[in-house]
């Protein structure tokens, strides 16, 4: 088993070796080359962040019936990280999703565009088990989320990062405690020094190394978003879900956050789904765009392709 590299220089090395990451190994396999890994294993003692800890090798712990039908038919290496088939969801008598089909490939950022109330947020909440679909299949890493039990769902959740619309930072904790919280829960053997190093690295990554001891209430909206992003990325997810990450921010900050999301995603080779109706943000981050209208996918393509569309409804987004 491998572990991630240590120290502030670790991420540079992560970037270099990201292409060699084994499928399904999450971030456990990234970092230094084999020799370096051996060296740091010797120097760090129990400070290990193994594939086992990320949940990536716990595949055998899932029950067989949770495996998505047809997921094995896709050729190896091209299997989508997320596969959504015919998902329906209604709240009382009000249908929100009416048979949504979409997929996300490895390392791809899919932007879901749509007007308020079109079911975008409900769709990604279904992916992490915060909402349950009435019908359809939601396959994440080859397993149907709605058929997972609580333990299996948590194994899957560890591999997914979710950035909420309002960041959802724990307001009774400092920035340091917010970032340490998921590490304390999921990396119980990690030393305090290693944890502190990771927190500092992550704050450096989002450009806020000086706010470490501040409370979320002392930060601006943009800073809160950055800290929320850092907290989500600290567990090295394989899939990121962004729920309107630029809502409520001014144009400049919104652009900064979008560029940050884009650069971190390419750096860590994360697959992601971004819910937004912010077109400049979609242009910066999207590899592919899916447009949702009244709970149904009505268009799909790259930003450039959709921009040229003759459809009035689609054109209204690009105007």
* Residues contributing to the site for another protein (CB under 8 A): 128-130, 154-155, 157-158, 160, 162, 164-166, 168-172, 181-182, 185-186, 235
Which residues lie closer than 8 Å to 188 by C-beta, 6 or more apart? none
Closest CB 28 distance from another protein, rounded Å = 16
> Residue 13 or 53: which CB sits closer to another protein?
53
> Residue 179 or 314: which CB sits closer to another protein?
179
Closest CB 185 distance from another protein, rounded Å = 5
- Residue 186 and residue 200: Cα distance in Å, rounded? 18
Closest CB 133 distance from another protein, rounded Å = 16
Closest CB 218 distance from another protein, rounded Å = 16
> Residue 13 or 243: which CB sits closer to another protein?
243
> Residue 74 or 130: which CB sits closer to another protein?
130
Q: Which of 163, 130, 126 is nearest to 246 (CA)?
A: 163
Closest CB 287 distance from another protein, rounded Å = 23
Query: Is 156:162 a contact under the CB 8 Å cutoff?
Result: no
> Residue 147 or 165: which CB sits closer to another protein?
165
Which two tokens mark 197?
A: 């190093």
Backbone φ and ψ of 117, nearest 5°: 85, 10
- Residue 239 and residue 265: Cα distance in Å, rounded? 10
The DSSP H or E segment spanning 154 is helix 150-158
> Residue 166 or 263: which CB sits closer to another protein?
166
- Residue 274 and residue 106: Cα distance in Å, rounded? 15
Closest CB 2 distance from another protein, rounded Å = 22
Closest CB 162 distance from another protein, rounded Å = 4
User: Rounded to 5, what percent of the chain is helix, strand, coil?
Assistant: 45, 20, 40
Query: Is 109:287 a contact under the CB 8 Å cutoff?
Result: yes
Query: Is 127:246 a contact under the CB 8 Å cutoff?
Result: no
Residue 77 CB neighbour total at 10 angstroms: 7
Q: How far is CA 316 from the centre of its chain?
A: 28
> Residue 108 or 155: which CB sits closer to another protein?
155
- Residue 305 and residue 283: Cα distance in Å, rounded? 12
Q: Which of 245, 303, 302, 236 is nearest to 264 (CA)?
A: 236
> Residue 47 or 155: which CB sits closer to another protein?
155
Closest CB 304 distance from another protein, rounded Å = 33
């Amino acid at each position: 088993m491998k572990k991630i590299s240590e120290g502030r220089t670790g991420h540079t090395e992560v970037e270099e070796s990201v292409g060699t990451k084994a499928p399904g190994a999450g971030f456990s396999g990234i970092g230094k080359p084999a020799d370096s890994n051996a060296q740091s294993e010797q120097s760090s003692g129990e400070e290990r962040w193994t594939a086992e800890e990320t949940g990536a090798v716990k595949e055998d712990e899932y029950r067989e019936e949770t495996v998505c039908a047809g997921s094995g038919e896709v050729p190896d290496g091209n299997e989508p990280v997320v596969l959504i088939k015919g998902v329906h969801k209604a709240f009382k008598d009000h249908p929100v999703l009416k048979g949504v089909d979409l997929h996300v490939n490895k390392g791809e950022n899919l932007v879901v565009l749509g007007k308020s109330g079109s079911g975008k947020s409900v769709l990604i909440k279904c992916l992490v088990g915060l909402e349950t679909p009435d019908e359809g299949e939601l396959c994440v890493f080859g397993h149907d989320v709605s058929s997972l039990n609580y333990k299996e769902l948590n194994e899957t959740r560890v591999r997914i990062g979710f950035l909420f619309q309002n960041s959802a930072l724990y307001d009774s904790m400092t920035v340091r405690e917010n970032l340490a919280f998921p590490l304390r829960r999921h990396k119980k053997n990690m030393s305090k020094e290693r944890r502190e190093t990771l927190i500092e690295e992550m704050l450096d990554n989002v450009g806020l190394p000086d706010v470490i001891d501040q409370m979320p209430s002392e930060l601006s909206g943009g800073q809160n978003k950055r800290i929320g992003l850092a907290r989500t990325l600290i567990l090295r997810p394989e899939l990121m879900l962004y729920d309107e990450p630029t809502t409520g921010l001014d144009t400049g900050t919104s652009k900064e956050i979008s560029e940050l999301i884009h650069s971190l995603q390419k750096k860590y080779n994360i697959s992601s789904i971004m819910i937004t109706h912010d077109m400049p943000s979609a242009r910066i981050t999207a590899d592919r765009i899916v447009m949702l209208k009244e709970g149904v996918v009505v268009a799909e393509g790259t930003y450039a392709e959709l921009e040229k569309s003759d459809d009035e409804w689609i054109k209204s987004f690009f105007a």
